[in-house]
């Protein structure tokens, strides 16, 4: 079963390699989607793939890479499936 979520990650998540780490972890799990910095200081992502892999990625996002400090991973909601590779998008 496919699951696609729009999420926002807050904390010390910019300037610590969070987007590159997210891309690498998502690709390892076979996910499609994207990740980008927000001007607010948060990181935003779309995670699309097998439900178990999306759930696993949510857990990994809560930990983040070694230099980060994640305060919250907020699921904004379910969205339409994303097709293609997992990508890093420009800041919005």
* Active-site residue identified among 12, 28, 36, 37: 37
Residue 37 annotated among the catalytic residues of the structure: yes
| Active-site annotation holds for 19 | yes
Q: What is the dihedral of CA 4, 33, 64, 5, to 10 degrees?
A: -20
Residues annotated catalytic, as ranges: 19, 37
């Amino acid at each position: 079963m496919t699951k696609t979520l729009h999420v926002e990650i807050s904390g010390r998540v910019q300037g610590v390699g969070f987007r590159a780490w997210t891309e690498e972890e998502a690709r390892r799990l076979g996910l499609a989607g994207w990740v980008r910095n927000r001007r607010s200081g948060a990181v935003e992502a779309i995670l699309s793939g097998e439900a178990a892999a999306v759930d696993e990625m949510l857990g990994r996002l809560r930990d983040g890479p070694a230099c980060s400090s994640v305060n919250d991973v907020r699921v904004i909601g379910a969205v339409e499936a994303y097709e293609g590779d997992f990508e890093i998008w420009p800041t919005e």
